[in-house]
Amino acid sequence: MWNEGPMIWTSDVLILLTSVGIIGVLTHFKKWKWLWDEWLTTVDHKKIGIMYLIAALLMMFRGGVDALLMRTQLAVPNNHLLTAEHYDQIFTTHGTIMILFMAMPFIFAMFNIVVPLQIGARDVAFPYLNAISFWLFFFAALLFNLSFVFGGSPDAGWVSYPPLTELGFDKGPGENFYLLAVQITGIGSIGTGINFLATIFKMRAPGMKLMKMPLFTWSVVAASIVIIAAFPALAIALALLLLDRVFGTHFFTMLHGGDPMMFVNLFWIWGHPEVYIVILPAFGIFSEVVATFSKKRIFGYSSMVASLLLISVISYFVWAHHFFTMGAGANVNTFFAVASMMVAIPTGVKVFNWLFTMYRGRVTMSLPMWWTASFVLNFLMGGATGVMLAVAPADYQYHNSYFLIAHFHQTLIGGTVYGLLAGMYYWWPKMFGFKLDKKLGMWAMVLFNIGFYVCFMPQYALGFMGMQRRMYTYPAGMGWGTLNFISTIGAYLMGLGFLFIVIEVIYSIKYGERDLTGDPWNGRTLEWSLPSPAPHYNFAVIPTVTERDYWWELKENNRTHELRPKAETLKSIEMPKNSARPFLMGVAFFFAGFGFVFHWLILGFAALAIVAAIMIHRALEVHDEYAVPVDEILETEAATGRL
């Protein structure tokens, strides 16, 4: 903290000023109680979703600044803006933040905001667990971000391979920050996976058979299955490495029969499925967006469902393609190469179904649709280069080169991030009651999209020219200078695109088109039958579904009044009570993590004891629900003009 040079000092000061500013504003406007009652203790899935969204966008900013620093460093040969060590820390935090603290909370934001509304439920299956999941993520992100001002960031890559990450080679606390933060957020993610699988299987409105579910909900099923199956492997790998580092075991050191390759194996048992965890919900979003804006039902619904589930199972059997060059036998490599290529088949099916849905549809090019269209091109290229990487012998050439960097950014940005942004634009009116401005949004889209190609196309070429990933600088004579410089320009264009999104949000809060109908896009699924934003109990009366795209069918047949509540038949509704414990549990986990990072075992175990105490307190709780009285429901429904 004290000896890290002007860059970190500046950040320290900025962080301090921001914190003081936030505290000042909250105190000035007397908002502490509101913050506590309405947000920090909430168990409402819609609010939790919004908090996930805000956190994800903030983390996208942080990860993006890291990316720009790296690209600035690589813009010209022999650059010494960053030291080697600092560069290592930046690519490690960038990768970790983007995957675990940006993409994951962003998909969870979508799960939370959309799923209960789409299936006609009042909440998720376990609202209290849902709040715990959020606060575990939140405090894990805080712990991770703290590393760069407090003791040093991790610097061994987002994969954190031993033996480099063993105590012998990496003393500093940075690696501990990584292990504990990722562990804590991972626990939260497992909770979310279980929660949403249970929600979708148990809480659907009457009549909504599995094959009548909207495709986004199906994609959440697929993603949740992969979460439940994959995240425990990560938890084990991290826990064993932590034991190695903190308690002196030898799971991954060669001493006493340990084996570092086992970490690599365990890591990718999670790591590969993880990229599908973040892409599957994006597929679901594209399906909703394409159907809505083509005013057609999705082409090949059953094949869409089948391909989602196939992807989630096959993607589980491809993890070894991340270490083709490790020296496993030809049989192993062949098996995993073929399995990897097979994922392309169901993915191709999906792309064709989207295209067939648009074909002969009355397509409206709104912002979500623009992001979807840009995604398709990206994903065709990302898929093609992915199949190239899956050819095991050829991978000996591509392995750890910039070709790989270009490929995975094309799928992660061009697939996941585009999908999540499409989803954000699409459901924004449902969350906040106004649309985001289209003109500013188009600027953001165009800049981001052009920037994307300018940034990553040169990197494919650089990979072929022999440039390796994770290089902090390179000599002048390699012929890499021009392409790297172009790539950096692209990165800045994307940064500019992101700024336009920020401006767009701020502008739209004031001037954005208000959504009074609750159905601004002429949507097809149940969430659009509710006012925007939805009342906290979602549905005054749970609908009985008879068809796929039920809301659309009702509109076609002028039967929408059937979903309106009737004053005579309203009953009071049981809702879960707010609770401070999930938040406090997050705080306790934060201190536990902090304790173990610095080997302060007393703090660590004391904080874990508090976690246990909170759990026992919860177990003894009897009344965790309250009844919303009919009067209040009447009043709320009347205020939105539905009675």
Partner 1 sequence: MSAQTGTSVQQQTVTPRHKHKSGKYIVGYLLSLVLTGISFSLALTHSMSFQPLIVVLVILAAFQIVVQLFFFMHVTESDGPAYHAMGLVLGLFFTFAIAFMSVWIMGFNSIVS
By CB under 8 A, residue 317 contacts partner 1: yes
Residues in binding contact with ligand HEM, number by CB under 6 A: 24
Q: Which of 74, 125, 180, 540 binds partner 1 (CB under 8 A)?
A: 125
- Nearest distance in Å: CB 231, Cu ion: 16
Q: Six-digit token pair at 68?
A: 């720009």
Crossing angle of helices 174-202 and 215-247, rounded to 10° = 150
By CB under 5 A, residue 272 contacts Cu ion: yes
By CB under 8 A, residue 386 contacts partner 1: no
The smaller minimum CB distance to Cu ion, of residues 71 and 322, is found at 322
By CB under 8 A, residue 307 contacts partner 1: no
The smaller minimum CB distance to ligand HEM, of residues 128 and 158, is found at 158
d(CA 423, CA 106): 10
Site string (260-289) toward partner 1, x via CB under 8 A: -xx--xx--x--------------------
Site stretch for ligand HEM (CB under 6 A), options 15-23, 408-416, 552-560, 599-607: 408-416
Site stretch for Cu ion (CB under 5 A), options 202-210, 248-256, 265-273, 352-360: 265-273
Q: What share of the chain is helix, strand, coil (3-state, %, to 5)?
A: 70, 0, 25
By CB under 8 A, residue 573 contacts partner 1: yes
Q: Which does 638 bind (CB under 5 to 8 A by kind): Cu ion, partner 1, ligand HEM, none?
A: none
**CA nearest 193: which of 290, 296, 312?**
312
Which residues ranging from 425 to 484 are in contact with ligand HEM (CB under 6 A)? 455, 469-470
DSSP 8-state assignment for residue 625 = E
With vertex at residue 72, the alpha carbon angle to CA 71 and CA 74, rounded to the nearest 5 degrees, is 65
Q: Which of 77, 157, 232, 300 binds ligand HEM (CB under 6 A)?
A: 157
d(CA 247, CA 457): 45
Which residues ranging from 95 to 154 are in contact with ligand HEM (CB under 6 A)? 95, 98-99, 103
Q: How far is CA 394 from the centre of its chain?
A: 31
Site string (328-347) toward partner 1, x via CB under 8 A: xx--x---------------
Q: How far is CA 610 from the centre of its chain?
A: 29
- Nearest distance in Å: CB 104, Cu ion: 17
SS3 574: strand
d(CA 537, CA 121): 9
Site string (203-232) toward partner 1, x via CB under 8 A: xxxxx-----------------x---x---
Crossing angle of helices 215-247 and 301-314, rounded to 10° = 10
Q: Which residues pair with 573 in a beta bridge?
A: 628
Contact of 430 with 533, CB cutoff 8 Å: yes
Which residues ranging from 29 to 58 are in contact with partner 1 (CB under 8 A)? 43
d(CA 1, CA 153): 11
By CB under 5 A, residue 407 contacts Cu ion: no
By CB under 8 A, residue 128 contacts partner 1: yes
Q: Which of 44, 66, 88, 123 binds partner 1 (CB under 8 A)?
A: 123
d(CA 176, CA 597): 5
Q: Which of 57, 320, 483, 588 binds partner 1 (CB under 8 A)?
A: 320
Site string (216-255) toward Cu ion, x via CB under 5 A: ----------------------------------------
- Nearest distance in Å: CB 321, ligand HEM: 16
The smaller minimum CB distance to partner 1, of residues 163 and 433, is found at 163
The smaller minimum CB distance to partner 1, of residues 574 and 635, is found at 574
d(CA 100, CA 146): 15
By CB under 6 A, residue 399 contacts ligand HEM: no
Contact of 302 with 373, CB cutoff 8 Å: no
Which residues ranging from 499 to 528 are in contact with partner 1 (CB under 8 A)? none
SS3 514: strand
Q: Which residue has the tokens 């009347």?
A: 638
* Strand locations in 545-589 (E): 573-576
d(CA 385, CA 459): 12
The smaller minimum CB distance to partner 1, of residues 221 and 422, is found at 221
Q: Which residues pair with 625 in a beta bridge?
A: 576
The smaller minimum CB distance to partner 1, of residues 208 and 483, is found at 208
Contact of 487 with 419, CB cutoff 8 Å: no
Backbone angles phi, psi at 297, to 5 degrees: -75, 155
Render the burial of 7-42: b for 16+ CB within 10 Å, e for the rest. Answer: ebeeebeeeeeeeeeeeeeeeeeeeeeeeeeeebbb
Backbone angles phi, psi at 416, to 5 degrees: -65, -55
By CB under 6 A, residue 277 contacts ligand HEM: no
Provide the binding-site residues for Cu ion, judged by CB under 5 A. 272
Provide the binding-site residues for partner 1, judged by CB under 8 A. 43, 121-123, 125-128, 198, 201-207, 225, 229, 233, 259, 261-262, 265-266, 269, 313, 316-317, 320, 326-329, 332, 542, 573-576, 624-625, 627
Provide the binding-site residues for ligand HEM, judged by CB under 6 A. 64, 67, 70-71, 91-92, 94-95, 98-99, 103, 157-158, 405, 409, 412-413, 416-417, 455, 469-470, 491, 494
